[in-house]
A and B are shown apart, each in its own frame.
Chain A
Amino acid sequence: MSVQNNEAGLVRKKDAALSQTKKISSTQINFLIDLAALVIFSLLAAPQATAISFHEWISFVFVPVFVIHIFLHWQWIAEITQRIFKKLPGNTRFNYIWDFLIYLLMILAFVSGVVISQVALPFIGIPIKVDPFWTSLHDTSANLLLIMLGIHLALHWDWIVSVYKRGFKRQAKEA
């Protein structure tokens, strides 16, 4: 009887450990997607350094990463959207509005980028005439995005540091 109890206890402990590992790994996936988004965005934000063709093609890689980033935080977005006109902590409300502005600017930068595309659109057979209006909007939105992204990172700095310390540092110690 006591052996059975011990075994059941061990199974429970194992399950708890597994669920703990699963929980940490989902946060780590989140962290890695965010890191990938940051690295890809930093690369595409410097067309002078990477050449225009790389800038345009990597933008198409960035969009799915951006969508996955939104998807991974969908629970939070849905929750705050429902409560936005109710009582909310100030920093949560600010975060929400800030993220929404980043989302709009990101779309504006993407749309204006596609419209003035010199490589991707001609590649698929769509000739374009560069409109100075879209060029100006693209430059302005991209430059603003960099600053807003910096603030977005700072607003989540505590989370970044804690995930890094909890996850990656511990794994490095165990290895």
Chain B
Amino acid sequence: MNIAKRIPIIFLVFIVTGLIFLPLAGTTWAEGVRAGATPVPPITASPVTFIKVIVEICLPALITVSIRNATKHKKMTPKTSS
């Protein structure tokens, strides 16, 4: 399949998958969320949010990389028999 065909197909799948979520609005779960919703305060300009975004991406990434490195290191270290 060539590029010209594949990209519209991916777009179409993207839109169709999106439409699947729309009926969620009519569920009892949605009603429950609406009933318990508090009024959303208006968005105020705060550049600090960028830091929050960076932390939210980097922290899980750092933890995962550390775990992977630790596991690799453990696998590579020869076991010492006692």
Q: Which residues in A have some Cβ–Cβ distance to B below 8 Å? A: 42, 45-49, 51-52, 63, 67-68, 70-71, 74, 103-104, 107-108, 110-112, 115, 130-137, 143, 146-151, 153-155, 157
A150 touches B50 (CB 8 A): no
Q: Which residues of B contact A151 (CB under 8 A)?
A: 60-61, 64
Q: A118: nearest residue on chain B (CB-CB)?
A: B43
B65 touches A154 (CB 8 A): yes
The minimal Cβ–Cβ distance linking A123 to chain B, given in whole angstroms, is: 18
The minimal Cβ–Cβ distance linking B18 to chain A, given in whole angstroms, is: 4
A131 to B26, CA, bound (A): 12
Q: A132: nearest residue on chain B (CB-CB)?
A: B37
B60 touches A136 (CB 8 A): no
B70, CB-defined interface residue at 8 Å? no
A-B residue pairs in contact (CB < 8 Å), sample of 18: A45-B56, A48-B44, A48-B46, A48-B49, A49-B47, A67-B14, A74-B10, A107-B18, A110-B18, A111-B19, A132-B34, A137-B24, A147-B56, A150-B56, A150-B61, A151-B64, A154-B62, A157-B65
